[in-house]
Each structure stands twice: as C-alpha cells, then as structure tokens.
Amino acid sequence: MAAPDKTNRVNEGKSARIAIIAVTQGGGEIARTIAAHLLTFGVEPPVCYVKATHWDGRHDEIEAVPYEGSLRDHTADWFRRYNVIVFVLALGAVVRIIAPCLVSKYDDPAVLSVDEAGQFVIPVVSGHVGGANLWAERLASALGATAVVTTASDVTKTLPVDILGREYRWQRLTRDSKTLTRVAAAVVNRQPVAMIQQDGETDWRSDYQPWPASIIIIDAESDPDPGHFQALLWIGCTPPPEALSQLWSGRMVAYLIPEDIMESSNA
C-alpha cells in the first residue's frame, strides 16, 4: 500500500471550499498572501472577504468580496457555504463569533485563526474530522508561521481514532460519539488497547513511529480479553463478527477497507 499524499485529504474527500475573512487593512494583506499560496495547492480557488471600510480593490486574480456590517451578520452563511474558514483575527474573537453556529465536529467546517502578523495559525474547531489541523500545518508552512496544534493525539504522536486510515479511504463503521470518545481516551491515556487487522497491508503503521507501546497488535484469529484491554480497534474488508461486536459493545471502533483497495493490494 503506497503512502498517499496526506495534504490532499480534508473533509473526507470533499473538495475544499475555502473562505478567508479579514476585518482590518493589515488583515487583508495577510488574507491575500494566504489566498495566493492556496492557489498553488491545486484546491478550489478561495474567496477573500474583506471589511468594506478597508477594501482597496487590490486582489489580482484572487476572488475578493467586500462585506458590510459585523462578522456575526455573515458567519452563519459562511458556515453553510464553506468547509474551511480562515479568520485573520484574534482567537478569542473568532471563538465568540462562531459559537452560535457550532453543531458538532462532524458537521462544522474547519475553522482557523491567523494573527495579523502572520506568526501563528491556530485550528479552532474540527481539527481532525474537518481537517483544520492539516490546514494549519499547510498555511503555517506557506507563511513561515507556527501551527499551534493542541489535539491530544497529534501532540502525543499516537493514533487518531476518529480519522484513522482516512488517507487510505478506510470507512469508519463506528458512529456512536460516546464510543468514539471512550476509545480515543483509552488510546490517548496509553491504556491497553488491542488492535486486530483482519485484512490488508500493514505498512500504514510506519506512519506512526515509534508505534504506541500501549496498542497491542492481536492476531486476527485470537480473542482479545475484554478484562485486560480497555478498547479494541478492528480493521478489515468486512464488518466485524456480530459476536465480537456484542462482546466489545461501547469499547470497539471498527474500520472497513474499501474493496478496490483490497483488490489492488492482492494484485
């Protein structure tokens, strides 16, 4: 299984629709710089929204729109229209502005905050599922800035339960948020977690070096002891057996490997 280009993975494969929001003249300059870099990434061209009182019309080939009124007047519409929103604005102000629009990390767009000096890029919401962490790293690299990522699995260099295998197009079968939280907590807290990979190549594990010592690879024919392990991660080309699902109810996250990937790996 060849290593994919992870920079192309965001919002589970949806084309990134990006808005960059600036409220000051200096912020508008940062927004233009960000947009120019994004144009080189091969994504859908971003749209810059600049407060009308600071609009100077200098945006070259970048699509830019002056807006009137307060940010709160427009934020709900931006949440509906875009899946990546970059505010050139202080983190605290971004939090207050977007708070009424938040639903869940599975519904909200990736929201980022960039300071007016272009020194820091901060994922605000939807760091994993929405791709805000990934975009923070990309924008920070483009700006020569620092990405301030605080997601536990990222800073501790362990497995991200909610998006594990997304770059390989694995489908996460487990949707229950309480189960996801429980299993993710076990992984982050370095509690004993069993992993069964029934099918597919295993070279994806080299992305996580050193491999977390608390995650124990179990043979597909074995039955991990629920009394010893706090959680189970299951990977295969078919859903896990019903008996296993019942035994690990509330403590197992399962991932399905797409059929075309299995066919290519077996060719």
Q: Examine residue 161 and state whether it is found in any structural domain, yes or no.
A: no
Show Cβ contacts of residue 130 under 8 Å, excluding neighbours closer than 6 positions.
10, 11, 83, 84, 105, 108, 109, 110, 111
pLDDT at 60 (0 to 100): 60
pLDDT at 181: 92
CATH number for the domain that contains residue 130: 3.40.50.11220
Residue range(s) defining the domain that contains residue 74: 6-150
Low-confidence residues of the chain: pLDDT under 70: 1-15, 54-61, 261-267
Per-residue confidence (pLDDT) for residue 58, from 0 to 100? 56
Report the C-alpha gap between 243 and 204 in whole angstroms: 27
Which single residue is written with the structure tokens 């403590």? 251
Residues 11 and 130 in one domain: yes
User: Do 144 and 217 belong together in one domain?
Assistant: no
Kindly state whether residue 245 falls inside one of the protein's structural domains: yes
pLDDT of residue 15: 65
User: Of all helices (H) and strands (E), which one includes residue 245?
Assistant: helix 242-247
* Residue 176 lies inside a defined structural domain of this protein: yes
pLDDT tens for each residue of 61-79: 677 888 999 999 999 999 9
Domain total in the chain: 2
Q: Which residues of 1-20 are buried (b: 16+ CB within 10 A; e: fewer)?
A: eeeeeeeebbbeeeebbbbb
The pTM score is 0.72
Same domain? 173 vs 141: no
Residue-wise pLDDT for 123-138, tens only, equals 999 988 888 998 999 9
pLDDT of residue 13: 37
Name which of 255, 261, 260 is nearest 238 in CA terms: 255
Which of 150, 179, 201 finishes a domain? Answer: 150
pLDDT, position 12: 38
On whether both 23 and 101 belong to a single domain, the answer is yes
